[in-house]
Amino acid sequence: MHRLLVIPALVSALVAAGPAPAQERQVPADRAQVQLSLAPVVKRAAPSVVNVYGARVEKRPSNPFFDDPFFRRFFGDNGFGVPRERVQRSLGSGVIVDPSGLVVTNNHVIEGMTEVKVALADRREFAAEIVLRDPRTDLAVLRIAEKGPFPALSFGDSDGLEVGDFVIAIGNPFGVGQTVTQGIVSALARTQVGISDFQSFIQTDAAINPGNSGGALVNMRGELVGINTAIFSRSGGSHGIGFAIPSAMVRVVVESARNGGAAVRRPWFGARLQQVTSDIAESLGLPRPAGALVASVDERGPAAKAGLRRGDLITAVGGQQIDDPDAFGYRFATRPIGGTVPVTVLRGGREITLTVALSTAPEDPPRDPVKIGGRTPLTGITAINLSPAVIEEFYLEDADSGVVVAELVEGSPAAQFGFQKGDIILAVNGVRIETSRDLAQATNRRTRYWELTINRKGQVFTTVLGG
């Protein structure tokens, strides 16, 4: 690295000579310099960016008059001209990442959709199937239902980006058709955004608007470095603050889909981490609040086997600095399964490096899914046993007992009472629930009222509902 050396004598001479002349502006030397353009990059990347259309049919609540033959005789099957079904649609963008027709987009673009279509830049339209959904990263992978090859965009190195690098955003804002905008990388590793569980976003000032979700963020080599996923806006339009999921995370999700997985396989760390506050930093003698503090360690996990202890401060993963638990989660989750990674920790004022194995979380005990029927407030849920794998899948950081709501039938009593996927049922009518079979037995009894204790995202509450 070159350093600028300031020599006092030289400074005196420069001051005596007066102010330096203004920077000289150069006139373009030839026509080629005048016509410098991003068009070659766009031509390389644009054919791989598609429009994604989702649809699902929603049934309207039935009116009892519609079933009466007398009313149907006069008003027809639709009853007063009101259709019994309504089609809900969504619109976004996607990127072809494999010539066979794999398309990556945002999960929120296709969430709840039963029919998905993609439209290529050349206006060809194809039906697509949902191969994998990953709500934790807000990513989904589709497969075009026709044989390729299709124009695929290659992955770039998102870790190699620097603030100030030029980038291009390609998508379908407001449904007007494929649109290209250009800007720079405004910031890297944005973690306090609240969009997904693994937060380390690329921030850009390239104009991103509704409909751009799932579109490509491309570097100057025409490589995919991010998937545009959100904007910061009070009006719904672009204010020059957009966020993209780095290609390093996108690649993990795509590889899981390419290998036939129904869910993303990520390494399990086996420890809970907490933010380093100013008070904690001062107590540890740190110059600034940075790193991820180990709050607890699962004895079965790779962290414990590597020698990690409660109170250790994680400062780096694989040689890359860690500023907070979100940054650790991103860096660790993008490591390939099967190897190891060095984790640097500060313990008792001394820096040490531990080698952590990259393995998936075990399903111990097995899930043993149980669907609850009958007449109870829980009718319509499918409950599964709690295990490290389930904790990882549903991001249940504060879970250590109970059973998890894994599925929820739309319109069921449980849905109407407000239960959600990921809720942990701890007790029913004072009976502690340890397994899914315990829940099945507890809900098989007739009672007028149901006292339920629930853990929802770390908040434990008890409610009484009618049967």
Catalytic annotation present for 108: yes
What architecture (CATH level 2) is domain 158-258? Beta Barrel (2.40)
Q: Which residues are annotated as a binding site?
A: 108, 138, 211-213
Q: What is the pLDDT of residue 13?
A: 38
Closest CA to 228 of 249, 199, 203: 203
Of 48, 90, 93, 108, the active-site residue reads 108
Whether this prediction's pTM lies above 0.85 is answered by: no
- Of the residues 134, 138, 205, 438, only one is catalytic, namely 138
What integer pLDDT is reported at residue 94 of this predicted model? 94
Residues 265, 267, 269, 270, CA torsion sign = positive
The encoded tokens of residue 106 equal 């945002």
Q: What is the pLDDT of residue 4?
A: 33
Contact assessment for residue 53 and residue 118, using Cβ atoms and an 8 Å cutoff: yes
The verdict on whether 2 is a catalytic residue reads no
CATH fold for domain 46-144? Thrombin, subunit H (2.40.10)
Which one from 213, 238, 247, 256 is the annotated catalytic residue?
213
User: What pLDDT was estimated at residue 18?
Assistant: 47
Annotated binding site for substrate, which residues? Answer: 108, 138, 211-213
- Examine residue 365 and say whether the peptide bond preceding it is cis (omega within 30 degrees of 0): yes
- What is the spatial distance between Cα 204 and Cα 192, in angstroms, rounded to a whole number? 15
What is the model's pLDDT at position 195?
57
Class of domain 370-466 as given by CATH: mainly beta
Q: How far is the C-alpha of 150 from the C-alpha of 32, rounded, in Å?
A: 33
- 272 CB-contact burial (10 Å; exposed 0-12 / middle 13-18 / buried 19+): middle
* Whole-angstrom distance, CA of residue 148 vs CA of residue 180: 25
Q: Please determine, looking at this structure, whether the domain spanning 271-357 carries the CATH number 2.30.42.10.
A: yes
Measured at the CA of 391, the angle between CA 255 and CA 378, to 5 degrees, comes to 115
Beta-strand ranges (E) seen in 212-270 are 216-218, 224-231, 242-246
> What is the structure's pLDDT at 20?
44
Q: Which residues in the chain are classed under CATH 2.40.10.10?
A: 46-144, 158-258
pLDDT along the chain (467 residues), means of 10: 34 40 59 74 93 77 51 50 62 93 93 89 92 90 92 94 93 84 89 64 87 91 92 63 92 90 87 92 88 92 95 93 90 91 93 95 93 92 94 82 93 92 94 95 89 92 86
Which pLDDT belongs to residue 114? 83
The distance in angstroms from the start CA to the end CA of the chain is: 72
Residue intervals of the chain classified under CATH 2.30.42.10 are 271-357, 370-466
30 is catalytic: no
